[in-house]
Amino acid sequence: MLPFDYLTYRLCGNAVTERSGATITGYFNPFKNCWEPQLAHLISDKLDWEKLWPKIVPSNSNVGTVIPETGLDELVGAIVCVGTGDNMSAALEMNIQPGDTAISIGTSGTLYGISIRGVIDETGMINGYADAANRFLPMITTLNSAKVTDTFCKLLRISNDKFAELALSAPAGANGLLLIPWLDGERTPNLPNATGELYGLRTTTDAKDIARAVIEGVLCGLLSGGKLLQHHGVDASGRLVITGGGGKSKAYCQILADLTGKSVWVSPIGETAAAGAAVQAAAAINGINNAEMAQRWNVDYEKVADLKQNGKFVFERYYAFVTNLLKEKK
């Protein structure tokens, strides 16, 4: 079981899961909505996997009530919802629609959209997840995100607020400085032994350039994944929404607007995944689908950044540089 499935099991005694969380395992087929025993057998052919797996139920399911065995006396009898993955839950709270692009900046980073048709990417760079509303949530995940900023804050011996101030005071492109932010290896692209690389250093390079290059590098890594999603037909014509710790950073928000040329929006709800769980629970209690409940919830986004400096050339430079770098590594 996934952790949220196990929590459900402990609360109500029922072994269940739903399609969006199940796709995280790698041995669930979101197109047929069924487990794939032949894939699980690659892990171990000595287990009777089909007897071990939880039952697949709809993502808006009421799956039982809290049982006395939990020891949670004050909650006994409370309705238990099936639950889902964190990004899938956040997508519900933010009411992400086909055409919207969501970027989450945390310790790691994610970029995803909603697609009516699923994505099959033979390179393995796209996670072809299902969402929690009977659609699909193709996603790119990078290993190095806000922790890259934290690392350079330590190196420069400044606070995150000062780092953001410096980054916003530098020109787009950081006076030619380019960071490849693979500090702890990378998962997209799949380079577990990679390291971070800083190019374009000069005697004129200063702390402002470094701060700008760091945030540009982190965001360009995610936007490179976004380009791959678009190549597979995922619509990106709608809103650009940022969440996670990066959504609270003026520098991340503004530089994202500069790199893309698009306005950047954020949900006023700080903990989007937790709020999405509430949306899912409300759908289960009221017997409606999660997408309809997300529409009813539908908080008003706040626009946090508009284009100030044209930085599209920065992404183009980064993408070309990384493409050549990957060819060399092969």
- Catalytic hit among 5, 45, 48, 86: 86
User: For residue 300, which amino acid is it?
Assistant: D
Q: Token digits for 65?
A: 């009530």
For 128-161, how does the pLDDT look when each residue is reduced to its tens digit (9 = 90+)? 999 999 999 999 999 999 999 999 999 999 999 9
Q: Which CATH superfamily is domain 94-268+300-329 in?
A: ATPase, nucleotide binding domain (3.30.420.40)
Domain locations in the chain as residue ranges: 94-268+300-329
pLDDT in tens, 255-297: 999 999 999 999 988 889 999 999 999 999 999 999 999 999 8
Bridge-based pairing of strands 55-56 and 16-17 is parallel
CA nearest to 138, candidates 257, 23, 253: 23
Give me 120's structure tokens: 């099959």
200 Cβ neighbours under 8 A, 6+ residues apart: 174, 175, 176, 177, 178, 213
Predicted TM-score (pTM) of the model is 0.93
Q: Encoding tokens for residue 201?
A: 């250093």
Residue 254 tokens, joined: 């503004």
What's the DSSP call for residue 26? S
Active site residue 121: no
Q: What is the pLDDT of residues 33-47, one digit of tens each?
A: 999 999 999 999 999
